[in-house]
Chain A
Amino acid sequence: MSSESTEVHHEEHGEGMTRKKIFKVFGVLLGITVIEFIIALWLVPAGHIPLHWANPVYIVLTLFKAFYIVAYFMHLKFERIGLALCIIVPILFIIGLILVLTNESHYWVDLRA
């Protein structure tokens, strides 16, 4: 039974990641990191964009990197949708914690002032 399911598993995986795709994803991850460095070391210090614009850009780029790592390297894109949802939906709770603590830290600012 278990060896059987492993084999089924195997065949489906064969079409997931080829070497070409792996290097493509590597290129994307490297490219995004290089863009982040260009922003941090050139665009912000030279005054082309203010820091409060750069920060959201960093976060969006980071989320892109996270997507590529989880979807392709960790293969979640090629798993059954049920498994993918089991992993992704609970992650949404983290947004809740971010909202709560952002709100809380605003209050701390007022306390300190």
Chain B
Amino acid sequence: MSVQVSPIDEVKTTPWSGGRSPFNVEYGKMMMWFFLLSDAFTFSSLLIAYGALRFSSSSWPAPDLVFQSVPGLLDSGAPLVFVGLMTFILILSSVTMVLAVEAGHRMAKKEVLWWMVATIIGGFTFLGCQALEWSHLHHEGFWWGHIPNMEELKHLFKGGNEASYGTYAQQFANLFFTITGFHGFHVFSGVIINIIITINVLLGTYQKRGSYLMIEKVGLYWHFVDLVWVFVFTFFYLV
């Protein structure tokens, strides 16, 4: 069948001339990227609001004084050790997730399954640690709308006007629980999604489909959660 083609049709072979994905990426994966972009805006709005309030304050609870306990082991004297452990766990679970993706490329069902299980365990461990961290701070008197009494607050600040401690401690408490809570909720939903995907791996859904692309999509979400934690960690615990 020979059809007369006009020159304008002949050039239509570039990625942007239609008929195929110019990004060479599957629809769901592209949408995951755009969702994560919008989520990045949400998290940065929260973190920038935190930054603006903190920047305008004359003093702020010092991270190495507020976060110096290892729940179950030490009540004080170990600044940032526990959060270091949490960071390590989350980075590690990100690594097991990439390993699951890598195994998926080789269509190795068993390996995908075990790396996914490892990722879920990492996620639950992180959530457990965060629950301990929250309950420790709650025990000290911090919560949305609640701060410890003045005597205790004096041990959490390094200098500054004592009259303003209450205001800044309250801002710190609200922002800390809101932002780590929002992040923790993301981790929780990530774990749930990972569990659903792992069940599908176990049932052989992706083996039948001939591609483990779904692992890549949930992987993107999981790495994003890790990415946000990197920023939360820096701005709440280090700076």
List A residues at the B interface (Cβ < 8 Å).
2-3, 5-10, 12-14, 17-19, 22-23, 26, 29-30, 33, 36-37, 39-41, 45, 54-55, 58-59, 61-62, 65-66, 69-70, 72-75, 79-80, 82-83, 86-87, 90-91, 93-94, 97-98, 101-102, 104-106, 108-109, 112
Contacts and interface: CB of A to CB of B under 8 A. Distances in A.
Interface in B194-239: 210-211, 213, 216, 219-220, 223-224, 226-227, 230-231, 234, 237-239
Interface of B: 15, 20-27, 30, 33-34, 36-37, 40-41, 44-45, 48-49, 51-53, 55-56, 58, 64, 79-80, 84, 87-88, 91-92, 94-95, 97-99, 101-102, 105, 210-211, 213, 216, 219-220, 223-224, 226-227, 230-231, 234, 237-239
Contact of B220 (A10, A14, A17, A74): A74
Given A3-B210, A30-B88, A73-B98, A83 B223 contact: no
Contact of A40 (B37, B80, B94): B80
A55 B87 contact: no
Contacts of B52: 101-102, 104-105, 108
A91 B23 contact: no
B26 A26 contact: no
Contact of A66 (B84, B210, B231): B231
A29 B44 CA distance: 21
A40 B24 contact: no
In terms of DSSP, what is the predominant structure of the interface of chain B? helix
B230 A69 contact: yes
A91 B91 contact: no
A9 B24 contact: yes
B119 to A, nearest CB: 12
Contact of B51 (A14, A37, A101): A101
A87 B238 CA distance: 28
A40 B101 CA distance: 34
Contact of B223 (A14, A69, A91): A69
Nearest to A75: B216
B48 A79 contact: no
B157 to A, nearest CB: 14
Given A6-B26, A13-B105, A83-B23, A26 B37 contact: no
Contacts of B20: 5
A24 to B, nearest CB: 11
A82 B21 CA distance: 11
Nearest to A97: B48
A37 B80 CA distance: 8
Contacts of B213: 6, 9
Given A69-B230, A73-B223, A109 B25 contact: no
Q: Which of the listed residues A26, A74, A87 has the most CB atoms from chain B within 10 Å of its own CB?
A: A74
B23 A80 contact: yes
14 contacts: A8-B24, A17-B98, A22-B95, A26-B92, A39-B238, A40-B79, A62-B231, A69-B227, A73-B219, A87-B36, A98-B51, A104-B52, A105-B53, A109-B58
Nearest to B44: A94
A45 to B, nearest CB: 8
Contact of A41 (B37, B79, B231): B79
Contacts of B223: 69-70, 73-74
